[in-house]
Amino acid sequence: QVQLVESGGGLVQAGGSLRLSCAATGSINLINDMGWYRQAPGKQRELVAALTSGGTTNYADSVKGRFTISRDNAKNTVYLQMNSLKPEDTAVYYCNLGNIWRGVRTDYWGQGTQVTVSS
């Protein structure tokens, strides 16, 4: 099992910044993806940014140039630096870890942290 603990959400004005953190503990495979998803009211959960253990990044088009994902493999922690925030970034942000073993992916999720951007 894997446990994910998120922190760093909150209320910020448009144009401001927030930094989310997610620490993973438990049975973490050497090969894994860590990332952030978000879900706004009435919408489906969507990928925000992901980072493989090998260093490959993937960003949603809507956040490219504004958000930066990074990870500390020694601490099994992933970060999301969010700059130039917009009201449409308002959502619950979920940390995700995907353990990969022999080509099979097992996903784990954090409890979510609210990000609210006021106009």
Helix and strand counts by DSSP (H, E) for the chain: 0, 11
Tens digit of each residue's pLDDT (9 = 90 or more) over 21-52: 999 998 878 778 999 999 999 999 999 999 98
- Yes or no: say if 19 and 8 are a contact pair by the CB < 8 Å rule: yes
> Token pair 């090969």 is at which residue?
31
Nearest to 22 by CA among 97, 91, 85: 97
- Give tens-digit pLDDT for 65-99: 999 999 998 898 999 999 999 999 999 999 999 99
What is the structure's pLDDT at 29?
80
